[in-house]
Structure 1
Amino acid sequence: MRRTPRGRRAREDRTVPQVVAHRGSSHDTAEHTLAAYVRALDVGAEGLECDVRLTADGHLVCVHDRDLRRTASTAGLVSTMNLAELDELDFSSWKSPWSGLDDEAPDRDPDDGKVLTLRKLLETVADYDRHVDLAIETKHPTRFGGLVERRLVETLGDFGWDGPGSPARVMSFSLNAVTRVRRLAPDLEVVLLVDKAHHWPVLRPVAGADWVIGPGVQELRDHPGLGRHLVKEGREIHVWTVNTADELQVCLDLGVTAVISDRPAYMLELLGG
């Protein structure tokens, strides 16, 4: 029988859910930038969530979309560009396009808006002065297939975070990706993300007994039976993306152990700090 991961035991012993910053403190700061994650840490986020994609030259970078039109104003694909090419782009101006006209705005470090590699994010967490969890989502489909998970596990291994007691957990909507991570790193915690409530009856027979399940908060609101079934089955539940008091209450009513939010400071305030 697989033992319960230490991180999971710690979460289950809590009276309130763990607050995880979704792409950093992304309500206030451009998502997936170093500035967004530093802000999340400064406000007290207990975990950081990121999406990872593989560049053409084999680097894992924290980017959600497959193309860069939304966050870097270019139609380029992450998977066809080298890290050096991505490093030339601005990943933060889209969030506040008029900030350059504000004479009272604080000076911004240009490096804060550059593409963020997973390695840099891991180094930031490793050097921080308190324990911080990482929830790392691998994006699929991708031309690189399972290479994404292999590179991810290798990178975590460089920090000694691919075994028991790791602060990292790996998430995906892809059943194949979650299965692959568990095969590559049997003691690494995994989260199977669920996009639609009606997918769960299909996924349930093949989901590992100790896998965390990650439904969206809107699905839980629209389909209350999903949450009831997960609770009845004794599943640990991590919910995305929780940004309002009403959404948080849905999670509290179900006893979920982690909420992933664009607004970590607000969630911590609602939970009493």
Structure 2
Amino acid sequence: MRRTPRIRRAATRGSTASVSRPQVVAHRGASHENPEHTLAAYVKALDEGAEALECDVRLTADGHLVCVHDRDLRRTASTAGLVSTTSLAELDELDFASWKSPWSELDDEAPERDPDHGKVLTLRKLLETVADYDRHVELAIETKHPTRFGGLVERRLVETLGDFGWDRAGSPARVMSFSLNAVHRLRRLAPDLDVVMLVDKAHHWPVLRPLVDDDWIIGPGIQELRAHPGLGRHLVKAGREVHVWTVNTAEDLQICLDLGVTAVISDRPGYILELLGR
């Protein structure tokens, strides 16, 4: 019988009485067992209790924002071509789900899949899903760079969020990027939106530190926190809000709890919530 690892709870900073835990964010949906960035993955994450959904966005050739991580389509749609040179109608003809379980059609016991849940997912459809859900859900939206469209990605993103009234203070959405220019651009377009400066390598932080505003959230990867413990301690000591990606194990979750981070982004939101004793 598999035992669930015990998790030590971290007390809220400045208090020994109250107990806090990080927000659990579904990385590309519940993508450990479901095809990433599909509606099926996000519905599963919501069913598991995820408190926020993470997605990557790219622009199609005809100007639509779609939830796709890679610049090309080989890994998730099994076809040649780039997202940026393909229209939304052309993307809609592709299967973005079969790569995750290529033998499912041969499994007589596999549950029947809604074909629409495996199509390319537009950001607008994901926003509509969140807006219509029966509880509060937040969004962590990453813009991918470099891209041939440059700053148009952030501009279209703010316009789309504006259609939902989510381009201002109190929005359930926050925007993330590894691109410093992209985060600055987003802040110029929507000054009251929360932003996350993603940090790929620990040694990048000393360079970034004087260039980011005090109210920016910092998003280091768990591998860097594991390999360079001083990075996390420094961020917390400096009073930074920290969101960590991609946290999939009890050991990595414990690192985040010990630091007192605000959010953990996971491929396995249901498992992380189980560990936290939801």
Q: What TM-score range do you get, normalising by the shorter chain?
A: over 0.9
Instruction: Kindly provide the CA deviation profile for residues 237-264 of structure 1, in whole angstroms up to 9, marking residues without a partner as x.
Output: 0000000000000000100000000000
Per-residue CA deviations over 1:137-195 (Å, capped at 9, x if unaligned) read 00000000000000000000000000010000000000000000111000000000000
How far apart, in 2, do the equivalents of 1:53 and 1:176 lie?
16
For the pair 1:147 / 2:152, whether they are aligned, the reply is yes
SS in 2 for 1:247: helix
Compute the TM-score of the two structures, normalised by the length of structure 1: 0.95
Match in the other structure for 2:251: 246
CA–CA separation in structure 2 for the residues paired with 1:101 and 1:127: 35
Matches of 1:112 and 1:89 in 2, distance apart?
12
- Once residues 232 and 244 of structure 1 are traced to their aligned partners in structure 2, the CA distance between those partners, rounded to angstroms, is 25
Query: Which of the residues 201, 205, 212 maps onto 1:207?
Result: 212
**Counterpart residue type for residue 31 of structure 1:** E
Is 1:185 the equivalent of 2:194?
no
Q: Output one character per residue of 1:34-65: Cα deviation in whole Å (capped at 9) or x when no partner.
A: 00000000000000000000000000000000
| Shift of residue 99, structure 1, vs aligned partner | 0.4
User: What is residue 19 of structure 1 aligned with on the other side?
Assistant: 24
Equivalent runs, 1:44-193 vs 2, <5 Å: 44-193=49-198
How much identity, in percent, do the aligned residues show? 85
Q: Secondary structure at the match of 1:143?
A: coil
Unaligned ranges ≥5, structure 1: 1-12
1:265 aligns with 2:270: yes
Q: Which residue identity lines up with residue 127 of structure 1 in the other structure?
A: D
- The CA distance in 2 between the partners of 1:96 and 1:19, in whole Å, is 26
Contiguous gaps of at least 5 residues in structure 2 = 1-17
Are 1:197 and 2:199 an aligned pair? Answer: no
Aligned amino acid, residue 156 of structure 1? L
Cross-structure match for 1:8? none
Q: CA deviation at 1:14?
A: 7.1
Secondary structure at the aligned position of 2:140 is classed as strand
1:132 is aligned with what amino acid?
V
How far did residue 107 of structure 1 move?
1.1
CA-CA distance at 1:228 after TM superposition? 1.1
Equivalent residue for 2:224? 219
Cα drift, residue 28 of structure 1: 1.0
Query: Equivalents in 1 of 2:97, 2:240: separation in Å?
Result: 37
Query: Pick from 237, 241, 245: which aligns with 1:232?
Result: 237
Displaced runs of 4 or more, over 3 A: none
Question: Residue deviations 1:59-90, cap 9 Å, x none?
Answer: 00000000011000012100000000000000
C-alpha distance in structure 2 between counterparts of 1:243 and 1:75, whole Å:
31
User: How many pairs align?
Assistant: 261
Structure-1 separation of matches of 2:165 and 2:33? 32
Q: Distance in 2 between matches of 1:75 and 1:230?
A: 41
Amino acid at match of 1:166: S
- Give CA-to-partner distance per residue, 1:193-221, whole Å, 9 cap, x none: 00000000000001110000000000000
Amino acid at match of 1:109: D
> CA 1:14–1:161 in 2, change beyond 3 Å: closer, same or farther?
farther
* Partner-residue secondary structure (3-state), 2:116: helix
* Distance change in 2, residues 1:189/1:14 (3 Å): farther
